[in-house]
Structure 1
Amino acid sequence: MAHLGPVAWPPCPIKTERLVLRESEARDRAGLIVLFSSPDVGTYVGGAQPREELESTVPGTPGRRPGFFVVELDGTMIGMVTFDRRDEERPGHVRQDAGEAELGYMFLPQAWGLGYATEACAAALQWFARALPGEPVVLCSQTANNQSTRVAAKLGFIEVDRFEEYGAEQWFGVWSSTTADDFGK
């Protein structure tokens, strides 16, 4: 995936009621390795990555790029929220020229079911609406991932397509910044 592109980076940390979204730091490396190697987290994203491989390939400060937010709770990394450009070759687009910003998020299993994904993504979408006003954001999730599609609906994503990709049916939605102020209240 291509990076988000021309935005002021890093932004000041974004604080919500319970969370902080911030640029990645070296202290996040271990938590991100746990995140990517978790079989539970990998269920709907192609499986867990081998921990040994991650230990040798993840840089000292992982995810240091525009659009990559670490999500922390009480000073501890619990997940990440990302914005990347959706590859033109993939199915699912809302613009003729493709390359839409795509929201992605992953959280450690102990953070599931507590509203953290919705809270963090709502804050990230508000940041996005200010950074790139008027630009749509897309989200793609396996239809079998009920938690993810519920989060998408809470955030205001509207389903625009379903298609087969990676051997599973995918839910594809779009979010518009014109309603960004309705989120995170």
Structure 2
Amino acid sequence: MTELGTPNWLPGPLRTDRLVLREPEARDRAAFIELFSSPEVGTYVGGPRPRDELENELPGSPTRRPGLFVIELGGAMIGIIELNRREEQRRTHVRAGEVELGYLLMPEAWGHGYAAEACTAALGWFADASPGEPVVLCTQIANDRSMRLAAKLGFTEVRRYEAWGAAQWMGVWSPALRRSAGPQSD
């Protein structure tokens, strides 16, 4: 099992055909502020954060957290992806010790397959680093894009529940289940 809490958790950037997944850098600060203050991005994650609040709170160099990847396209940050090992039980039914996948992309990056490409790379890296360990994903059922992405990635529904005033969905992805199920179609 990979220890997402270790300082050298990522030996180097992950590369796909179009993207680079890497640790955050100081040059990403403005993009983080844009991402977290976007009304479109905030639609299903509790709303956008006020830009002035983010300007005051975000450090000069975004925090490098194990499991947090910047999604880069052509040298620019277009979003983030996170594999976060939960230290305690969450209201979303994610239990302590489970690894949860999360992702946010800039609205202009939507609809190009970047989320699927980035998530596939991150899940592949995680499967190699932590063989057989499952990953969970939670999203609002109303978030059609996220629901389609979860299905495309091979997440299987575990439960539905109510949280934050909306119907939620939780799925699980397991490298072992993916291999036994065969290739996934688009």
Deviations 1:103-156 (A, max 9, x none): 000000000011000000000000111122221100000000000010011100
Answer whether contact 2:92 2:138 (CA < 8 A) is retained: no
Which residue of 1 is the match for residue 91 of structure 2? 90
Structure 2, unpaired ranges of 5+: none
User: In structure 2, what is the Cα distance between the partners aligned to 1:64 and 1:98?
Assistant: 22
Answer whether contact 1:104 1:139 (CA < 8 A) is retained: yes
TM-superposed deviation, 1:85: 2.3
Instruction: State the secondary structure of the residue aligned to 1:169.
Output: strand
User: In structure 2, what is the Cα distance between the partners aligned to 1:91 and 1:111?
Assistant: 27
User: In structure 2, what is the Cα distance between the partners aligned to 1:103 and 1:44?
Assistant: 15
TM-superposed deviation, 1:84: 1.1
Aligned residues: 179
Query: Identity of counterpart residues, as a percentage?
Result: 61
Instruction: State the secondary structure of the residue aligned to 2:17.
Output: coil
User: In structure 1, what is the Cα distance between the partners aligned to 2:32 and 2:26?
Assistant: 10
Q: TM-score, normalised by structure 1?
A: 0.90
Structure 1, unpaired ranges of 5+: none
TM-superposed deviation, 1:90: 2.1
Which residue of 2 is the match for residue 159 of structure 1? 157
Which residue of 1 is the match for residue 16 of structure 2? 16
Which residue of 1 is the match for residue 175 of structure 2? 177
TM-superposed deviation, 1:7: 7.7
Which residue of 2 is the match for residue 100 of structure 1? 98
Provide the aligned C-alpha RMSD in A: 2.0
Q: TM-score, normalised by structure 2?
A: 0.89
- List, as ranges, runs of 4+ consecutive aligned residues in structure 1 with deviation greater than 4 Å: 180-183
Report whether the alignment pairs 1:150 with 2:151: no
User: In structure 2, what is the Cα distance between the partners aligned to 1:7 and 1:134?
Assistant: 23
